[in-house]
Amino acid sequence: MGQSEAEIKHHKIFNKAYDFTKADEIKEMGLYPYFKPLQATDGNTVQIDGREVIMAGSNNYLGLTNDPRTIKAAQDVLKVYGTGCTGSRYLNGTLDLHLELEEKLAKFMGKESCVLFSTGYQTNEGSIQTIAGRNDLIFSDRDNHACIVVGTQASNAKTIRYRHNDIEHLRSLMAKSDPDAGKIIVTDGVFSMSGVIAKVPELVKVAKEFGAGLYLDDAHAIGVIGEGGRGSASVFDLTDEVDLISGTFSKSFASLGGFLVGDREIIEYIRHHSPAHIFSASMPPANVATVLKSLEILQEEPWRLKRLEEISDYMRTELKNLGFNVWSSQTPIIPVVIGDMFDCFRFWKDLFEAGVYSNAVVPPAVPQGQALLRTSYMATHTDEQLDRILEAFRKVGIKHGIIDNNGS
């Protein structure tokens, strides 16, 4: 029997792809805000579509991606090691640079040991699924990053999700759970959409109460908050009370990759059992050298953390004063809630036309009716650039009826 024209065109398995038209529809409306190619960047500003705009949506918190010292560090090692490792850490892909970085990160974070991964995403996905196995329980915040969610799904453990930052809900769920099961609480240290810091002191108490491990994903916290930039647990002087802390290099460390720190035995187990570590090519030498230099700069130039905090406080206060809803942000991640998805796209476009680049975030990444522009700031933003961002938000906010002429 012959196939129909539709069947010849594609198989049933691909129907979902051919039926996906939303992106094309938004593009036709001229409102598509994603995958915008950067033609050049100096960190604070970027060239897009031949225009220079202020970058207010980057995770380059310390402003090191274009620092001459990080660039030189990357260039120098290329002459020694080449461009890649061509293998996994487990086999032929370990460099002395990898070991140096692991040792320095463990010391910096105040933990016994460290293991590197090729991306921040792989760090959480690969570590969680390895440490939590059959008959174990994972307690995961509902607002956790996708890589944590995937890690829980890939594990053989049962995952129980608790309401965002709701410690009493977490406690009630743990109280109902099997007392003999292995347990671990996993949460973002700083939540990537809201900029809210996890309630680490309360999490430590609950973990102790029920004999559970505690795992913090500090992708948006290390190199951003805490003593010397050591992350969310450090804010509360509780680093010793947290079992595992993960971080990423694609933000404050101006590179690509990720890491996990903790007790030596736990890290060695993950090093030898995590598929994401064993079966992925290792971080290229230029990436490792960039992180090493960034870590050095972070420790030698504490002004960057102080400036970043000052900028965050200023922008949060001024956006609130204009009348915008910024949720309860506590960090350089400052959401500006717009509401409807298409209103958010229109606001994004007008903001871009006004010379400011931000990130449009829509459901399911945020709740329905809570579409927002995710702004984030760098230690190297100038006062003039910050005020230009605020003025653009003011004008576009008034135009779209999000705020009034007098602010709040």
Can you say whether the dihedral through the CA atoms of 6, 9, 11, 17 is positive or negative?
negative
380/337 Cα distance (integer angstroms): 25
| Candidates 251, 277, 293, 381; catalytic one | 251
Give the type of residue at 73.
Answer: A
Helix, strand or coil, per DSSP, at residue 408: coil
Helix, strand or coil, per DSSP, at residue 139: strand
| Candidates 192, 280, 329, 376; catalytic one | 192
Give the burial class of 239: count Cβ atoms within 10 A of its Cβ; 0-12 exposed, 13-18 middle, 19 or more buried: buried
The full DSSP string for 321-384 is HHT---TT--SSEEEEEEESHHHHHHHHHHHHHTTEE-EEE-TTSS-TT-EEEEEE--TT--HH
Would you call 220 a catalytic residue per the annotation? yes
353/102 Cα distance (integer angstroms): 43
Helix, strand or coil, per DSSP, at residue 293: helix
| Candidates 111, 183, 220, 293; catalytic one | 220
CB 232 within 8 A of CB 77: no
- Name which of 120, 45, 56 is nearest 336 in CA terms: 56
383/373 Cα distance (integer angstroms): 21
CB 354 within 8 A of CB 396: yes
Report residue 49 CA to chain centroid gap.
26
Q: Which stretches does DSSP call E strand in 88-153?
A: 113-117, 136-141
Catalytic residues: 192, 220, 251
